[in-house]
Chains A and B, each alone.
Chain A
Amino acid sequence: MNLEKSTGYKIILDWLKKNERQPFTFQTETWQHILSGQNGLVNAPTGCGKTYSIFLGALIQFINAHPKQFQTKKNNGLQLLWITPLRALAKDIARAMTEVIEELGMQWKIGIRNGDTELNERAKQKRQMPEVLIITPESLHLLLAQKNYPGVFTSLKIIAVDEWHELLGSKRGVQTELAISRIVNVNYRISNAHCLLWGISATIGNLEEAKAVLLSPLKAEGVIVKADLNKKIEIASIFPDEIEKYPWAGHLGIKLVDKVLPIINASRTTLIFINTRGMTEMWYQSLLNAAPELAGAIALHHGSIDQELRFWVEENLHTGKLKAVVCTASLDLGVDFRPVETIIQVGSPKGVARFLQRAGRSGHSPDAVSKIYFLPTHSLELVEAAALKQAVAENFIESKTPQLLCFDVLIQYLCSIAISDGFYPDEIFEEVKNTYCFAAITKEEFQEILLHITAGGIALNQYDEYKKVEILDNGLYKINSRRIAMRHRMHIGTIVSDAMLKVKFLSGGYIGVIEEYFISRLEPGDSFTIAGRNLELVMIKDMTVLVKKSTAKKSIIPSWQGGRMSLSSNMGKKLREALTLSQQKNNVPELTVLKPLFDLQNQLSHVPKENELLIEHIETKDGFHLFVYPFEGRLVHEAMAAILAWRISQITPITFSFAMNDYGFELLSDQPIPLDDGNVYELFTDKNLFADIQRSVNSTEMAKRKFRDIAVIGGLIFQGYPGDYQKPKHLQSSASLLFKVFAEYEPSNILLKQAYREVFEQQMEETRLRDMLQRIQQSKIIITWPQQLTPFCFPLKVDSIRENVSSEKLEDRVKRMQEQLGKDTK
């Protein structure tokens, strides 16, 4: 159908004109594709009307189908399913959509369904689905776990996946793929026509692949519609008055609070992005201490804050009542807060894409300039600012690698649809195989998964009472136990967090939630800070932390686990280039200001250029250190450290401890480390890489950590929800215990194997590791022997996470450790 001649288009165009607007080219392009029955991906930044590109397309489609009654037709059933990764987005989008519907005089209803949706609202939706349902992947799976779910999708015309770049690459993306594979199939069976599938994505390095992943269940080629709107971004660094030559992570940022105040005062609203929740609390306090007059005009926003409070913050961001909000990634995604004029990024954003995403939170109108300040948490981070500027100028944005064969997510999904209407394996196998994630799944693997959910992994014996999915006489796979169904529904999702406890005042009054891990280290009487308040721990009762207001001057800030991002490969490359530039004549302010630090580094050791790898041997009272600086991000360094340790231990029996950050890694031993010009290229070869990874003991430790998430997603650990539910005590176990027993008694378990695979593919990033080693082979390796710690190694020394590897036999090692300790105490 020709768009321009259609009634729907005319009506929409009129409405836009009335509002003194006109459609962008990418919007009309998308509408035309929708009318022609095409699927595809819209590539547009936020704040440019990307929502309209698909939503108005759906309206045009509807008006064209009902040109006479489009204003009167009510209760049309679900027309547009809008999948969005963040709850915070839902309200914003619903608001924009409702506005349009009202102005057009239509009867469509816009519904929201996510973790925050009230029960009676859900029940209402069940009776009569709204025409548009805005939903998170988790809630979508919950919907699939409801009886008669296929009925919901009978009238569905379009599935839209918003912020697809955010979902792609995560297990939530896999969850989305699986849900879509089911929905398009039930929709087709009932309506005999395929609904359309559209994604919306910001620019990423692999847009074509992103489209292929999304459209895989439809086996459709599809189109990419690009919004060629170049947003202007202005990047400025905030410089400390004095550059410390020995930087260490974290402590500098807060000192710069005085330099942040003028920025806040100069713009209408400022968002301050901070990488960890713990630091947001600290920043919030420091801002208030430095400028008490800001009380009431600044707020906190992160994932552990009570949702009421979060809503309040979001509302006040919309209305412009807040001067500044200190936030984490919780405000990363496309929430359109018009009053926001300025962004401050505290610490490394770790990736170009994330930095751009955050910059895009300011200056929302298409022609406005996005203004972002970079505030370093240690002086070396200024190099990252220089690297970011260059990357942004080149539009050098990361790819999102889609996850493959996530059996934990598949197990969860199969159980979900076994709760509602049950499934027939043959039919579901075909569907699952049509997704990008499971395209390579074999019949055997699928059988193994079926065996896992029906028989608990091994053949039944007469004393076994395993019960989960049952196979009915007609071959239907079904969960009949209400208790198992309830427990499963409660843990649908792929975001695994620590066990969370509710925090409440003794006198009543809910404050937020907090990790069990953190609170378990506190004693009653200790003070801590959450949601910007100083609280004193009174007691823990029934999964609730009871507190009262604290008058203590010093309080502990919770350190939330997780959220430790690793530097992206793109950032690493730009960082190495920036270092090269720093050693030449340049006028990059971030690099010139760091000159004293570079001079000291050069004097003690060396500043590596992009075609060099720097290795430092340093001896201290702790032992013999080897510092290596590939600038490839923490994860790759972690793997490389393990492999290097293993390879060195092949030369001589030796035990190491490790530390790593985004710039490099450290091996520490109690004996000299035999690495020199003679063997260094051999130690950094990519030959036998895979075998060496497997041999490095470390993969077990890493797999153990990966297994925690997999075990939770795959239903082996029931976490419970904050305060809502008491864990049955006799079913408590830790992931490390489960890992231990699986490794010992059922090493072929499919989830255990997945943990190892995830370690190789994601944690160690095998491809990236290989690329790095090949790069190093082509580089000049420079080994120095500094007499003292250097500026480059200092943050590593301070910010260390240690793991160990050894080629010695376990028993020998224990004895040796003891000898060592004995020597120390003498």
Chain B
Amino acid sequence: MASFIKHTIHQNDFILNSNRTIFWEQEKILILSDLHLGKTGHFRKAGIGVPATIMKEDMQRFVAAIQFYKPSLVVIVGDLFHSVENKEHELFLKWRNDLQYVPMLLVKGNHDIVPETWYKNAGIETAERLWRRNNFLFVHQAEDVQEEDLQEADYFFSGHIHPAVSVRGLGKQSLRFSCFYFTNNYAVLPAFGKFTGTFLVEPKKNETAFAIVEDSVILYKK
């Protein structure tokens, strides 16, 4: 069973789940990032036999999260798909069809290169660079946010880098875990898709990270 940690930002409550999602309680919005769906398909099409079940597991986790939270909206902060269309996109459509009642919004990331019409057919609303709800912004890459974007917003959520923290002990021991990463004015979500690499972040003072250790979310201390 997954575990959660509640994290509060500007009087809003966000549930960090070890299934690699964030749930915004006040707005009932499920936030996730970097699913990279279709990546296994591209590999397999090229003759590289990575396990075909990865995508299925990612989708099951996605559906389970929706059924658990019953969100009013799912916001994906980029990289829903890994690359151009392949058959795994069809598999996604099948799932999407069963979840028609849930509105989905994609803030497009650098990997989201399928044509706009495709999203329309799939019932996914898209936002080009950023999307706003109340005083929160949603973008793919944190570095894309300009000064003027922040004038009416207090905080923003992003993805893209697939953050992870390394936990070190005595004698150079170290282990690496995917994490939720919070700075003073933005958050970075872990990659939702399991067939993705990670990038090591080093939280500074006043920054927090929550590591996903197996089925738990643990506050990371330096």
Contact = CB atoms under 8 A, between A and B. Distances in A.
Interface of A: 452-453, 455-458, 461-468, 481, 483-484, 487-488, 622-623, 655-657, 668-670, 715-718, 728, 730-731, 733-734, 737-738, 741-742, 744-746, 749, 802, 804, 810-811, 813-818, 820-822
Contacts of A461: 52
A746 B52 CA distance: 9
Contacts of B195: 733, 737, 741
Contacts of A802: 171-173
B52 A466 contact: yes
A457 B168 contact: no
Given A465-B86, A730-B83, A817-B167, A716 B49 contact: yes
B221 A821 contact: yes
Given A456-B49, A466-B44, A745-B51, A622 B87 contact: no
A803 to B, nearest CB: 8
A455 B172 CA distance: 42
Nearest to B84: A730
Contact of A481 (B47, B52, B57, B211): B47
Q: How large is the interface on B (under 10, 10 to 19, 20 to 34, 35 or more residues)?
A: 35 or more
A747 to B, nearest CB: 10
B196 A737 contact: yes
Given A488-B47, A741-B195, 19 more contacts: A463-B41, A463-B88, A465-B44, A622-B171, A656-B171, A657-B172, A716-B48, A728-B46, A733-B43, A741-B50, A741-B54, A745-B51, A745-B54, A802-B171, A804-B169, A804-B174, A811-B214, A814-B218, A817-B167
Nearest to A716: B48
A349 B42 CA distance: 46
Contacts of A821: 168-169, 221-222
29 contacts: A456-B50, A458-B51, A463-B90, A464-B52, A464-B87, A465-B45, A467-B46, A468-B47, A481-B47, A484-B46, A488-B47, A657-B169, A657-B170, A657-B173, A730-B42, A737-B197, A741-B51, A746-B51, A746-B53, A802-B172, A804-B171, A804-B173, A804-B174, A810-B213, A814-B211, A814-B213, A814-B218, A817-B170, A817-B173
B194 interface: yes
B45 A623 contact: no
Contact of B170 (A463, A488, A623): A623
B91 interface: yes
Nearest to B222: A821
A481 B47 CA distance: 10
Contacts, number: 141
Contacts of B20: none
B216 interface: yes
Nearest to B171: A657
B2 interface: no
Contacts of B47: 456, 466-468, 481, 484, 487-488, 715
B175 interface: yes
A718 B43 CA distance: 11
Interface of B: 39, 41-54, 57, 82-83, 86-88, 90-91, 167-175, 194-197, 211, 213-214, 216, 218, 221-222
A744 B194 contact: yes
Most chain B CB neighbours (cut-off 10 Å) among A462, A463, A668, A821: A463
B118 to A, nearest CB: 16
Contacts of A742: 50-51
A489 to B, nearest CB: 13
A668 B91 contact: no
A742 B194 CA distance: 11
Contacts of B52: 456-458, 461, 464, 466
Nearest to A717: B48
Contacts of A717: 48
A479 to B, nearest CB: 8
Contacts of B174: 804
Given A463-B88, A804-B173, A814 B51 contact: no
Contact of A741 (B90, B175, B194): B194
A623 B171 contact: yes
Contact of A456 (B44, B82, B196, B218): B44
Given A456-B52, A465-B87, A811-B216, A820 B45 contact: no
A166 to B, nearest CB: 31
Given A730-B82, A733-B43, A715 B197 contact: no
Query: What are the 3 A-B residue pairs with the smallest beta carbon separation, nearest first?
Result: A657-B171, A456-B49, A468-B47
A817 to B, nearest CB: 4
A804 B167 CA distance: 13
Nearest to B91: A463
A599 B54 CA distance: 61
B39 to A, nearest CB: 8
A457 B197 contact: no
B44 A818 contact: no
Contacts of B53: 458, 745-746
Contacts of A818: 167, 221
